[in-house]
Structure 1
Amino acid sequence: MSDATQARAGKIRGALKRYQVMAIITSSFLLLLTIVTLVKYIGDWAFDWVNEGFLSVALTIGIVHGWIYVVYLLTCLDLWTKMKWSFGRLVYMALGGVIPVLGFFVEAKLARDVKNGLES
């Protein structure tokens, strides 16, 4: 393997690691946000329960997830450009941060694809 190929593989591995970390964090916050939102709306609908403290926690989680999602998108873009994938793959990666639980599956599949690509 040439030095240029090894350098490219190293950059890809770094981008993959950053993507994996952000995918797990983003997916975890999205899952937490989904649970909090469900509790908020079900509590309000079924039990006429409104708690200002809980609402502020839900809002804070939503804001934090939004900022984390921006960083996640940057890591998606970084990995996507290094791997030279199709635009559809970038959309698939971006959806992993907004559809609950999907991010965990997307991360696992892409990590497998990248590692298989680097081995061949």
Structure 2
Amino acid sequence: MDIKTASALHRLRLVSVPEALSFPALLIFGSLLSRISDVNLVMPLGALHGILFVLYVLFLLDVWNRAKWPARKVALFFLLALVPFGGLYGDRVLKRDEADSVAAARARETAAA
């Protein structure tokens, strides 16, 4: 793996935790708030969750392209985005993969020098 792959993994990691927390934290909170008060935050919070989900899927496709992940791993990460708090597990896996790709890129740079 190269540094561009590590960057793609890092971008996916950056959006995975907020996306994982956006459904249970934002949408459920907004729904409950709209039921007990006159404040309706479901639409803006839903839009924020949708933006995070779309970014997650785009970054996942970028990682699939750059890291040459098997389709099963991509499907697993997509399913993790659908499960509340699923991205928290994915973040741990991505952190390990990102560290491995950075280490491999540095080793290649050292060997080339």
User: How many percent identity over aligned positions?
Assistant: 22
CA separation in 2, counterparts of 1:67 and 1:36?
A: 18
Asked if 1:59 corresponds to 2:39, the answer is no
Larger radius of gyration: 1
Deviations 1:34-58 (A, max 9, x none): 5426x62xx89xxxx54331xx213
Gaps of 5+ in 2: 105-113
Equivalent of 1:108, from 82, 92, 109? 92
Gaps of 5+ in 1: 1-7
CA separation in 2, counterparts of 1:110 and 1:21?
A: 10
Deviation at 1:90, TM superposition (A): 1.1
Normalized against structure 2, the TM-score is what?
0.74
Q: Which runs of 4+ in 1 moved over 4 A?
A: 117-120
CA separation in 2, counterparts of 1:105 and 1:78?
A: 19
Aligned residues of 2:9 and 2:63 also touching (Cα < 8 A): yes
One-letter amino acid matched to 1:83: A
CA separation in 1, counterparts of 2:29 and 2:42?
A: 6
Deviation at 1:27, TM superposition (A): 1.5
Normalized against structure 1, the TM-score is what?
0.71
Deviation at 1:83, TM superposition (A): 1.2
Q: What is residue 70 of structure 2 aligned with on the other side? A: 86
